[in-house]
Chains A and B, each alone.
Chain A
Amino acid sequence: MDFTLTTYYPIFIYLVIVIGFGIAAIATAHLVSPKKVTPVKQMTYESGMDPIGDARQKFDVKFYLIAILFLVFDLELLFLYPWTTTYQQGSIIPAGLRDIVFWEVQVFLLTVIIAYLYAWRRGVFRWR
């Protein structure tokens, strides 16, 4: 095993440059920028509207359930997209394994559907 630190020198140099650039940008902005504080500048940015109330308030738990369901489907998509694009390329999924990978993805989809049905039956979508 040829494992030496020299292999990683480019990464270290890259890290130093990246961190240095970040620090330099912030420091320059602090040193060079004009400092005139006005109430409007201090206001929370709300895309042009005046902010109403405090951002730190309790949200209904229903939002979290929807958010979790969204995550389930989001991740499913994340998983399916690479598979569909590489499915036909023999270099990534060898031809001999294509069938088993296909059925494994079907099983994965089925489990997501079961989770969805469960959430549905438990009344996650009833907004009350």
Chain B
Amino acid sequence: MSPDLQNALTDFIPQVVPEIVLGVSACVLFLGATFRVSRHVWGVFALVALTLASFALIATIRSLPLFTEPPTTFDKSKWPLYAAPVLFTPLALFFKVVGLVTGFLLVLLSWDEGGEDHAGEYHGCLLLLVAGIGLVGAANDLLTLFLALELISLPTYLLLYLPRADERAQEAAMKYFLLSVFSSGLLLFGFSYLYGLTGTTNIPALLDMFASGQERLAPNPEASTQQPWVGVTLLALVMIVAGLGFRITSVPFHFYAPDVYQGTTTPAAALLAFVPKIVGFAALLRILGYVPGLSAFERPLGTAMGEQVPMLLWIMAAVTMTLGNILALLQDNIRRLIAYSSVAHAGYMLIGLAVVRYLANAPGESVGGVEALLFYLVAYGAMTLGFFAVLHYLDSPDRPLESVDDLAGLGKSHPSCGLLLTLFLLSLIGMPLTAGFVGKFLIFFDAMGLSSQNAEQARLYRILALIAALNAAVGGWYYLRMIGVMYLREAIDPLPRPRPAPVVATIAVCATLTLGLGLFPQSLLQLIRDALPRPNAQLVARAADEGQAVARE
């Protein structure tokens, strides 16, 4: 074994120090939870652990070089550099930071969850979840990726079950468990095919192998339909997209969401709305090879097999947002409504994924699509977590906040809460000056901006942008209905005045983010641009040539 390879396999430990800190703290929390201590102790402990992990992350940034150097050509001598199970790339750093911020918000949001008895376990599970987000972002191997995804799924089952033990919560936890296990099975099935075809689980090696296979087929496109491996690869990709589609609640894997959100507590629903989406999209970006520059290949796996995978994502995006929005119109329970709204938002985000291929090859600075998708993810997280946090703040055991009608008169009885809910709802609609607007704008703009490519594709994606715009208008109706109920109707039985709680901090941060990203989107966009590697210059030039050739014909 070469020394380079050995170093790659042994020297990755310092890169995962933040995750190790979180894991060890979670173990302490699990053991500590068996002693009778006030639940506030465990909340504070979780916050301290997250702070320590943040410092560890800062230390790793200072001391370790970020893995930014993409080889321009297929260079065998550089392969050992890519052999590590995790790579500390700028994109991984982005996901780690998002994970830690989410962790802080979730710990504050669910401060009182789990009761005196299980608060320790609850916060321990939250810490494991944050570690999982960081590992998914950094994963460089199919096995690491799968384990990191499971590191998020397993604590999620507990988080659904721990805070409430009534029948509906149990049903929700059971439903989520069974469907999640099923989706993991699909994912593993897809992984096993990729492994069987290439003999490796290392993602860059795998992507490169498909790219070179595609290169060999390139002179004779008709032959590709006769090659069995092309079909098997497509099958594997469909399985993987299906398995991850469950996590991002895209149609047709969305049907668990409304029941589970409704059955579980508000903090757990907030977590389910955001965390699986981050990791689902992170994993999709990685496996489909939509992060150019990270491997020595030129064509992403998602497009190496032609137009099918972008087309699949196109259809999923269109169906997901349409169905999500239409079904949300019919809902009366707030959590159910937001579940369908989260399905619709997954649809908007899928547009970002569907257009990547064409934008990545387009001459230009940025990797469109991915950039818009990541911005939308952060904006979506801020507004959804904020919305759920206000709901949780107003909710009390004596006077549960369940249906839209419970919000009646909120604008008068709780002016500040009403104002904050309105802010988050306007952001979910996509009103200007909020984060939601910038996210939607970037996504729609990407879908519209394909004109330089071949005309048929451009038309197809303009249709997608049109569907999305119509959907945004439909979505406006049910969000505005909630605002209307808050301000135009009188409460028969007003909600009681809530007591101050750590949740207020979550609400404040989310509101700041929602407004801040809406007013100054450039700050986050620049961060995301820096996190994404530039597309290969040769590739861009070649794609431009091909585009001209197509145009001439």
Q: Is A35 part of the binding interface, using a Cβ–Cβ cutoff of 8 Å?
A: no
Q: Are B6 and A94 in contact (CB under 8 A)?
A: yes
A122 to B35 Cα, complex, angstroms: 9
* Contact indicator B31/A114 (Cβ below 8 Å): yes
B229 contacts which chain A residues (CB < 8 A)?
Answer: 1, 3
Interface flags for B207-233 (1: CB within 8 Å of A; 0: not) read: 001000100000000000001110010
Instruction: Tell yes or no: B526 within 8 A of A by CB.
Output: no
B27 on interface, CB distance cutoff 8 Å: yes
Pair B10/A97 contact, Cβ less than 8 Å: yes
Shortest A98–chain B CB gap in Å is 10
**Residue A5, interface by CB 8 Å:** yes
Question: Roughly how many angstroms separate A128 CA and B351 CA in the complex, as a whole number?
Answer: 56
B10 touches A114 (CB 8 A): no
Q: Tell me the bound Cα distance from A97 to B9 in angstroms.
A: 8
Q: Does A4 contact B (CB under 8 A)?
A: yes
CA distance A114 to B24 in the complex (A): 11
Whether a CB of chain B sits under 8 angstroms from the CB of A100 is yes
Closest residue of chain B to A2 (Cβ to Cβ) is: B229
> Which of B6, B35, B232 is the one whose CB lies under 8 Å from A96?
B6
Known: A94-B1, A96-B10, A97-B9. A3 touches B31 (CB 8 A): no
Question: Given the complex, which residues of A lie within 8 Å of B197, measured CB to CB?
Answer: 1, 3
User: How many A residues, CB 8 Å from partner?
Assistant: 15
Closest CB in chain B relative to A69 CB, distance in Å = 15
Interchain CB contact under 8 A, B1 and A111? no
The 0/1 profile, CB within 8 Å of B marked 1, for residues 89-128 of chain A is 0000010110110000000000100100110011000000
Nearest-CB residue, chain B, relative to A121: B34
CB < 8 Å neighbour of B31 from A94, A96, A121: A121
A96 contact set on B, CB distance < 8 A: 1, 3, 6, 10
Chain A residues with CB under 8 Å of B31's CB are 114, 117-118, 121
A118–B9 contact, CB under 8 A?
no
Contact B9 A111 (CB under 8 A): no
Interchain CB contact under 8 A, A114 and B228: no
Shortest beta-carbon distance from B221 to chain A in Å: 17
Minimum CB distance partner of A94 in chain B = B1
Among the listed A1, A4, A5, A111, which residue makes an inter-chain contact with B213, where contact means beta carbons less than 8 Å apart?
A: A1
Question: Which one of B27, B35, B213 has the highest number of Cβ atoms from chain A below 10 Å of its Cβ?
Answer: B27
Our count of residue pairs bridging A and B at CB distance below 8 angstroms stands at 37
Q: Which of B13-53 contact A (CB under 8 A)?
A: 13, 27, 30-31, 34-35
Give the shortest distance, in Å, between A121 (CB) and chain B (any CB): 3
Question: How many angstroms from the CA of A117 to the CA of B228 in the assembled complex?
Answer: 52
Q: How far is the CA of A121 from the CA of B209 in the complex (A)?
A: 51
How many whole Å from B515's CB to the nearest CB in chain A? 43
Contact pattern, B 168-192, Cβ under 8 Å of A = 1, otherwise 0: 0000000000000000000000000
Residues of B close to A121: CB separation below 8 A? 31, 34-35
Beta-carbon contacts under 8 Å, A57-97 to B: 94, 96-97
* Residues in A whose Cβ lies below 8 Å from that of B27: 111, 114
A30-46, CB < 8 A from B: none
In the assembled complex, how far is the CB of residue A71 from the closest CB belonging to chain B, in whole angstroms? 15
In whole Å, how far is B297's beta carbon from the nearest beta carbon of chain A? 15
Contacting residue for B30 out of A3, A94, A114, CB 8 A: A114
Cross-interface CB contact of B228 among A4, A118, A122, cutoff 8 Å? A4
Interface residues of chain B: helix, strand, loop or mixed (majority): helix
Considering the chains assembled together, what is the distance between the CA atoms of A99 and B6 in angstroms? Answer: 12
Measured as residues with beta carbon below 8 angstroms from the partner, the interface class of chain B is: 10 to 19
A5 to B231, CA, bound (A): 13
Q: Are B10 and A100 in contact (CB under 8 A)?
A: yes
Contact mask for chain A residues 3-35; partner B; CB cutoff 8 A; 1 contact, 0 none: 111000000000000000000000000000000
Checking B9, B30, B209 against A100 with a beta-carbon cut-off of 8 angstroms, the contacting residue is: B9
Q: Bound state CA distance, A4 and B231, in angstroms?
A: 12
Q: How far is the CA of A111 from the CA of B151 in the complex (A)?
A: 14
Contacts of A114 in B (CB 8 A): 27, 30-31
Q: Which B residues touch A94, using CB under 8 A?
A: 1, 6
Which interface residue of A1, A4, A100, A121 has the most chain B CB atoms within 10 A? A1
Report chain A residues within 8 Å CB of B35: 121
In the assembled complex, the Cα of A122 lies from the Cα of B120 at a distance in Å of 13
Q: Are B34 and A122 in contact (CB under 8 A)?
A: yes
Measured in the bound complex, the distance between the Cα atoms of B31 and A121 in whole Å is: 8
Docked CA distance A40–B13 (Å): 65
CB neighbours (8 Å) of B30 from chain A are 114, 118
> Within 8 Å CB of A1, what residues of B?
197, 209, 213, 229
**Complex: how many Å from CA A3 to CA B227?**
8
Contact A97 B6 (CB under 8 A): yes
Please report the C-alpha to C-alpha distance between residue A122 and residue B30 in the assembled complex, in whole angstroms.
10
A115 to B406, CA, bound (A): 43
Q: Which residues of B contact A100 (CB under 8 A)?
A: 9-10, 13
In the complex, the chain B residue whose C-beta lies closest to that of A115 is B30
A122 to B31, CA, bound (A): 9
Complex CA gap A117/B30 in Å reads 10
Nearest A residue to B228 via CB reads A3
In the bound assembly, the distance between CA atoms of A79 and B390 in angstroms comes to 47
Smallest Cβ-Cβ distance to B196: which chain A residue: A3
| Nearest opposing residue in chain A for B227, CB measure | A3
- Determine the residue in chain B with the shortest Cβ distance to A119: B34
Task: Please indicate the chain A residues that have their CB under 8 angstroms from the CB of B13 in the complex.
Answer: 100
Cα distance A3–B216 in the bound complex, in angstroms = 14
Assembled-state Cα–Cα distance A3/B232 (Å): 11
Q: Would you list which residues of chain B between 462 and 477 have a CB under 8 Å from chain A?
A: none
> Could you name 11 residue pairs across A and B whose Cβ atoms are closer than 8 Å?
A1-B229, A4-B228, A96-B6, A96-B10, A97-B9, A99-B10, A100-B9, A114-B27, A114-B30, A118-B30, A122-B34
Q: Which residues of A contact B (CB under 8 A)?
A: 1, 3-5, 94, 96-97, 99-100, 111, 114, 117-118, 121-122
13 more contacts with CB within 8 A, not counting A1-B229, A96-B3, A114-B27, are A3-B197, A3-B228, A96-B1, A97-B1, A97-B6, A97-B9, A97-B10, A100-B9, A100-B13, A118-B31, A118-B34, A121-B31, A122-B34
- 4 closest A-B pairs by CB: A121-B34, A96-B6, A3-B229, A94-B1
